[in-house]
A = this chain, B = another copy of it.
Amino acid sequence: MKEDSSVSGTAPSATTARLLIRCADRPGIVAAVSSFLHAHGANITALDQHSTDPEGGTFFMRLEFQTPHLDVGRATLERSFGEVVGARFDMDWRLSYAAEKQKMAIFVSRYDHALLEVLWRWSRGDLPAELTMVVGNHPDLRSAVEGFGVPFHHVAFTKETQESAELRLVELLDGQADVLVLARYMQILSPGFVARFPMRIVNIHHSFLPAFVGADPYKRAYERGVKLIGATAHYVTEHLDEGPIIEQDVLRVSHRHSEAELKALGRDIERHVLARALRWHLEDRVLVHGNKTIVFA
């Protein structure tokens, strides 16, 4: 039991860049992309690809490469990639840089477990984001949040005040949220609001979707007598609980557990499923295809 004061996991270094690609599958993509990067001095350190079907399917790729020996600047690299490779394969593509952290905002209600897990992991560097704010529709969690040195805003939200509340939220988030986390936020956001953050709102639902879509999943799990309870992290779309699933997990329960115990046990799965999904999102590991995700974990 020797002591060791270095507790962090391996983070990508400040020189890591990521290239994300989506296009129609056809021969030659890997060769073109990797040759382009190599020719410009990029050293590929991770590469994942997926094709929904080699014949007529969609091709997805995520590359990590190191930038120290690039022969051109970022702007030139990006423009050139678009002209030389992107155009040739009619790609959707983007480059991101690990050193430029995404801005993250969190919405919360009264439950604190999912929020605290995210704050805790973020504070130890496990979630590579710039946490700009937490917004609660109740004021209860202000001091917990401010204890982490993070701004807390209280924006009351009811069906009656939804319109003005969402306006206030939009104002607060303006330029401050590349990703928005619903950490057991108990309000339903309007389609108009959701449309401002396409595939950038991550929700944690307290069931193994598509079982128990909607309200009170633990109550319904209890009543149905299931032997496993679960949680699902997914992107929010205008269709409640139906967006692309990022991650899910389950836990064994039995007839001995009351509904309240299912809720208590479920908190642990919710915490971990949300944390994993969020890390993958922040590391650009999640690509969306229709209503499904490709996760290069």
Contact = CB atoms under 8 A, between A and B. Distances in A.
B54 A43 contact: yes
A147 B148 CA distance: 11
B226 A250 contact: no
A171 interface: no
A254 interface: yes
A165 interface: no
A126 interface: yes
A27 B43 contact: yes
A265 B292 CA distance: 20
Interface string A247-265: 1111000111010110111
A258 B50 contact: no
A244 B199 CA distance: 38
A9 interface: yes
Contacts of A73: none
Contact of A295 (B35, B50, B214, B254): B254
B268 A186 contact: no
Highest count of chain B CB atoms <10 Å: which of A1, A214, A226: A1
A208 interface: yes
A162 interface: no
Contact of A188 (B1, B187, B230): B1
A212 interface: yes
A225 B211 contact: no
A161 interface: no
B212 A292 contact: no
A193 interface: no
A96 interface: no
Interface residues of A, number: 82
Contacts of A48: 48
Contacts of A195: none
A111 B7 contact: yes
Nearest to A214: B1
Contacts of A43: 27, 54
A54 B66 contact: yes
A228 interface: yes
A8 interface: yes
Contacts of A109: 3
Contacts of A5: 110
Interface in A32-74: 34-35, 37-39, 41-51, 54, 66, 69
Interface string A279-297: 0000000000101111100
13 contacts: A1-B214, A3-B110, A8-B260, A8-B264, A27-B43, A31-B35, A31-B37, A31-B38, A210-B211, A210-B224, A224-B291, A228-B248, A255-B294
